Amino acid sequence: MYYVSKRMEISACHQLKLSYESKCCNMHGHNWIVTIYCKAKELNSDGMVCDFTHIKQSIHGYLDHGNLNELLPFNPTAENIAKWITEQIPQCYKASVQESEDNIAVYVNDEKADGCEAL
């Protein structure tokens, strides 16, 4: 099995819709640190799990310097964003979304992970 990861920084704003009062209900921004984990049993014809540039275009190219409330069809929590990322990249089984130094959400697609222990 082959494993790769791609780490990137995304600057974007969002406003959470919550069932309680929170300053996060106001529009605010983060410099998100996103790590995308991909795997493949066999390399593609180019000798890759997937091209790092394609991963960056799909995620960074779409979200960077954007309003996540306008770009994504759900409440843009770090948890929901992590899940969305795994749905955008076919080889992606796990995504980590860090919105600040102390706040990190991780989503693992169990169907794609299937016993992954690497990375």
pLDDT per position as a tens digit, 80-118: 999 999 999 999 999 999 999 999 999 999 888 776 655
* pLDDT score, position 50: 96
* pLDDT score, position 113: 79
Domain that includes residue 39, residue range: 2-113
User: Which stretch of DSSP H or E encloses residue 36?
Assistant: strand 28-40
Mean pLDDT, range 41-68, rounded to an integer? 97
In a domain, 118, yes or no: no
55-74 pLDDT, tens digit per residue, is 999 999 999 999 999 999 99
**Strand, helix or coil for residue 32:** strand
What is the rounded average pLDDT for all residues in the chain?
95
Per this entry, what is the length of the chain? Answer: 119
In a domain, 119, yes or no: no
Domain count for the chain, please give it.
1
For residues 55 and 38, is the Cβ–Cβ distance under 8 A?
Answer: yes
Question: At 14, which CATH number?
Answer: 3.30.479.10
13-28 pLDDT, tens digit per residue, is 999 999 999 999 999 9
DSSP readout, 82-106?
HHHHHHHSTTEEEEEEEEETTEEEE
pTM, rounded to two decimals? 0.93
In degrees, rounded to 5, the angle at the alpha carbon of residue 86 between the alpha carbons of residues 2 and 42 is 20
For residues 33 and 101, is the Cβ–Cβ distance under 8 A?
Answer: no
In a domain, 42, yes or no: yes
* pLDDT score, position 47: 97
